[in-house]
C-alpha cells in the first residue's frame, strides 16, 4: 500500500518519477505547429507528457540509426560503388591484355589487392549498417 501513488496510478504516471538530487540539465526544443500537433497526439496516445515522450523515445532509440547516420552510410556505399566500378574497369583491361598476349600483367597483383580492400570496405559498411 505504501508504494502506490494516490488514486492507483502506479503504472499510469504522465510525468517521470523524481530522481535523487533532481535533474540538473534542461533542454529547450522549438517545433513547428505541425510538429507540435504530432507530439501532442503521440503523447496523449501514450498518456505521457511531451517532455517524457521526447526523452523516452530518444533514449529508447539511442542504438537505432538516425537519418544522418543513414545518409552517411549511403554516401559511403556510393563511394564504394564508384571505386569498385573503377577497379573492375582495370581488371577488365588487364584480363583483355592477358588474353591477347598470354602473359599476366605486372599490375595484376596490385589491382587484385585493391579489389580485396574494396570488398573488405564494403563488408565493413554493411556490418556498420546491420549494427545500427
Report which DSSP code applies to 100: H
Closest C-alpha to 49, from 13, 17, 81, 79: 13
Residues in the chain: 132
Distances (CA, A) of 57 to 48, 54, 79, 124: 12, 5, 33, 28
Closest C-alpha to 132, from 80, 68, 77: 68
Spatial distance between the Cα atoms of 76 and 70, rounded to a whole number of angstroms: 10
Residue 41 has a pLDDT of 94
Q: Evaluate whether 77 touches 125 at the Cβ level (below 8 Å).
A: yes
Mean pLDDT, to the nearest integer, of 29-38? 94
Spatial distance between the Cα atoms of 12 and 5, rounded to a whole number of angstroms: 10
* Residue percentage of the chain with pLDDT more than 90: 9
Query: In the structure, what pLDDT confidence band is assigned to residue 3 with cuts at 50, 70 and 90?
Result: very low
Q: Evaluate whether 85 touches 118 at the Cβ level (below 8 Å).
A: no
Query: In the structure, what pLDDT confidence band is assigned to residue 62 with cuts at 50, 70 and 90?
Result: low
pLDDT in tens, 64-86: 666 667 777 788 888 888 888 88
pLDDT in tens, 39-51: 999 989 888 889 8
| Mean pLDDT for the chain overall | 79
Report which DSSP code applies to 104: -
Amino acid at each position: 500500500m505504501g508504494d502506490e501513488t494516490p488514486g492507483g496510478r502506479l503504472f499510469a504516471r504522465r510525468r517521470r518519477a523524481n530522481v535523487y538530487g533532481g535533474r540538473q540539465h534542461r533542454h529547450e526544443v522549438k517545433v513547428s505547429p505541425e510538429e507540435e500537433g504530432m507530439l501532442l497526439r503521440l503523447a496523449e496516445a501514450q498518456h505521457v507528457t511531451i517532455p517524457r515522450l521526447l526523452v523516452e523515445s530518444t533514449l529508447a532509440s539511442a542504438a537505432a540509426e538516425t537519418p544522418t547516420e543513414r545518409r552517411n552510410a549511403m554516401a559511403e556505399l556510393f563511394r564504394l560503388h564508384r571505386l569498385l566500378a573503377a577497379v573492375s574497369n582495370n581488371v577488365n583491361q588487364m584480363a583483355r591484355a592477358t588474353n591477347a598476349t598470354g602473359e599476366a600483367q605486372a599490375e595484376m597483383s596490385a589491382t587484385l589487392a585493391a579489389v580485396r580492400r574494396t570488398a573488405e570496405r564494403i563488408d565493413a559498411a554493411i556490418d556498420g549498417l546491420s549494427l545500427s
